[in-house]
Structure 1
Amino acid sequence: FDRLRFIAEEAELGEHREAILAVTIPERPGSFRKFCAQIGARSVTEFNYRIADSSEAHIFVGVEVHGSEETARIVRNLRRHGLTTLDLSDNELAKWHVRHMVGGRAPRAAGETLSARDELLYRFEFPERPGALMRFLSSMRSDWNISLFHYRNHGADYGRVLVGMQVPSREMKQFRQFLENLGYPYAEETRNPAYRLFLV
């Protein structure tokens, strides 16, 4: 099955059915949702991000397209909206290595990691259909910051998504309500030793 996934990914990139983009957005709550609105109804095939800077967020995103002309239109539209965008669709380093290495630990700030400030880590199963990500983003409070996001489409009926969110402890009741109202299967991973060792 891994071999079939490799062949499918090669075909998508070779036939220009997937655009691989590096986009810089403001590091503030709501920026991710605004970015997704610019992508529109297109299927997002991959999204990798980890908080690293207090002013800018660098995201690695894959988008299903119908040729290189559509990729160029997406890039122009993002740039027109003030987002620095780099097309990495033909970049071998990005396709085979960087996409798996985006992220890492949160940076240290004021003597502690940013992730130690109210970060919660959750695994979700998103339905593989247009609008599932936007539903997630629109359902969460606009002042909760997404500090980590990892997703890759593997052709299943649902997508495995890892999300880090900075939620003040006094707002846990609202956060639990958000999880229940969302209706997506989830599991908390905040105390997972792999997270504590490699991502905090």
Structure 2
Amino acid sequence: MTAKFIVIEGLEGAGKSTAIALCQQFLTSQQIEFINVREPGGTPLAESLRDIVKAEHQESVASETELLLMYAARSQLVHNIIRPALAKGKWVLGDRHDLSSQAYQGGGRGIDRTTLQTLSAMVLKGLQPDLTIYLDIDPVIGLARAKGRGTLDRIEQEAVSFFERTRARYLELAESDERIKTVNANQDIAAVHRDITQVLEYFFQGLN
């Protein structure tokens, strides 16, 4: 079976970590060899860029600067980790990918689609996830959960309106791409797990 690239997406507090753990269990049960990656990050240089993106700075961080840092980190991860793993037959399970930039920097920051498409094409060179599970959550609920975990980073401290715009773009993109499956993360955890498992089972059925 050709190696696949699966990504988990969602706003802060949507439950991505729990969803990733569930996907890990599922892939293991299918005897699939896989690696885990996260964005931004995943390589030494990309992790350094992650720290820069998330940290508070004395100067204002321009939206374009944030976008370029995200794509610089993604370029390192794709070139050094994701593509080599897939070429070796290993599946890749990602915590965020390009859809995050389309939603956060495109929807949240309002960066134009042409700029996003140009950067995406340059960095990814056609690479796309085979399956993206988008955990959809009300930003107010998600942020409340995130605050319960501890100190918020620079992006997590944005106003609710920023996350509402980000969520709207997520939903728009999910509606237009059949490879993106939306799961209602406002439900109780058992229902969310059930829906994620159903998505994974349906995906695997399509591979046979």
Say whether the fold is shared (TM-score over 0.5).
Answer: no
More helix by share: 2
Greater fraction strand: 1
Query: Which gives a bigger RCO, structure 1 or 2 (Cα 8 Å, sep 6+)?
Result: 2
What is the TM-score of this pair, normalised by structure 2? 0.28
